[in-house]
Structure 1
């Protein structure tokens, strides 16, 4: 009797063991292959300055801007992006000016306008609120937020009704903190559409050549200059299949 029970138990264990091997092999085969993605893209939009001449964001102040970027996913939620953005006026009268605020004392006194060009090199981290890189998601889209650091090369000229405020073109380099929000939408497996609005907090108050160091004190000493970028982009995604690590019967300490 005992021998019969033992044989039955052994047969059950053997069946379970064989079944588990086939089940685990089947489940492993059904697991998605790890895939990482990278993108290259181009965007067009507007750059907008905020400072002494324009203390509030004004949409009409936007001047043309162009950006190119490279983006790589690090996880389902995190992507890193490097990019170059340039902005330059198309027409000579495309300037930032005191005109919209001329009822205010400083603006009425200066009657100044600013000619500004920007070149930005940035690196930012994006947080995707949805799993954008999962192709099982329909539709495939995600809002995101970003923050990073940027180096900014700017060229500016100040023109004023007051001769003592006129400044010739000055080129200088500064640092900014870019941050903002955007939306990604997959047009197809490889092509993506993007919308973005971002602000750049500068570490200088001299981009408009008006600062607290000026003898006439026509600047706010408690506020640095800002600029913004808002635009639309198109990008192309590259997919890379990541092979699983090589099996080692006795892995080393660093494996």
Structure 2
């Protein structure tokens, strides 16, 4: 990005991505790849140095459905509460995030062939999500209506972090692959928390959600001209 005898060049990117969103909590206590539901993302990335880039983005996913899989040995042996609850959630979310990426290689060095770099990222995100919970166990107390909690809209804050790799298809076009986790500070992302004693929620862990996918982006280059010399420079200029 910086070459001897050449004015510094900075870059910015706009991009879109497609992938899968996932959730981990009371209904789905383990990350399961097959539970991914389609998700889309748009982002803007700006380099701050050869190693550091900043990225802001939007990510959305509609109707993430997590079904309790009773044939799963993990649920049957280690998670007996899942058989008792027979729970299912429907979840839509929209995330706004800002993250810092650390690139392990100088991705902006045009002499590098091929131009590729793995990276790690961490940041902060806010999200709006819409959740509905259904519990199908007939032995649970209350009428049927009490066991179906209607759609509810909430907001939350999370810490996104993860890994990725970017590859230059050409001078302007880039391909990316990323896997990221989001640490939440609430246990009500799936409507189940320690307050719901009847439904046997785990009070000792918070909920998580994930995004993994591929992206394509377009790079803009800007040459930063050096400052204009003064007509009458002083002794210290």
Q: What's the TM-score, normalizing by structure 1?
A: 0.83
Instruction: Tell me which residue corresponds to 2:69.
Output: 99
Runs of 4+ residues over 3 Å off in structure 1 = 162-165
Post-superposition offset of 1:32: 2.6
Contact residue 85 and residue 199 of structure 2 kept, 8 A: no
Distance in 2 (alpha carbons) for counterparts of 1:36 and 1:241: 7
Instruction: Tell me which residue corresponds to 1:22.
Output: none
Instruction: Tell me which residue corresponds to 1:69.
Output: 43
Distance in 2 (alpha carbons) for counterparts of 1:140 and 1:63: 31
Post-superposition offset of 1:217: 5.2
Distance in 2 (alpha carbons) for counterparts of 1:113 and 1:212: 18
* Residue 240, structure 1, aligned to residue 222, structure 2: yes
Larger Rg: 1
Residues 157-168 of structure 1: matches in 2 within 5 Å?
Answer: 157-162=132-137, 163=144, 164-168=146-150
Post-superposition offset of 1:30: 5.9
Distance in 2 (alpha carbons) for counterparts of 1:215 and 1:98: 19
Of residues 184, 190, 193, the one that matches 1:208 is 190
Instruction: Tell me which residue corresponds to 2:141.
Output: none
Residues 97-176 of structure 1: matches in 2 within 5 Å?
Answer: 97-100=67-70, 101=72, 102-103=75-76, 104-162=79-137, 163=144, 164-176=146-158
Distance in 2 (alpha carbons) for counterparts of 1:141 and 1:30: 22
Instruction: Tell me which residue corresponds to 1:15.
Output: none
Distance in 2 (alpha carbons) for counterparts of 1:250 and 1:59: 66
| TM-superposition CA deviations, 1:42-99 (whole Å, max 9, x none) | 000000000001111000110000000000000000000000000013xxxx620222
Distance in 2 (alpha carbons) for counterparts of 1:250 and 1:205: 64
Q: Quick one: higher RCO (CA 8 Å, sep 6+), 1 or 2?
A: 2
Partner of 1:37: helix, strand, or coil? strand
Distance in 2 (alpha carbons) for counterparts of 1:105 and 1:74: 50
Distance in 1 (alpha carbons) for counterparts of 2:94 and 2:67: 21
Structure number having the greater helix percentage:
1
Alignment length (residue pairs): 221
Distance in 2 (alpha carbons) for counterparts of 1:168 and 1:49: 19
Q: What's the TM-score, normalizing by structure 2?
A: 0.89
**5+ residue gaps in structure 2?**
138-143
Partner of 1:134: helix, strand, or coil? coil
Instruction: Tell me which residue corresponds to 2:212.
Output: 230
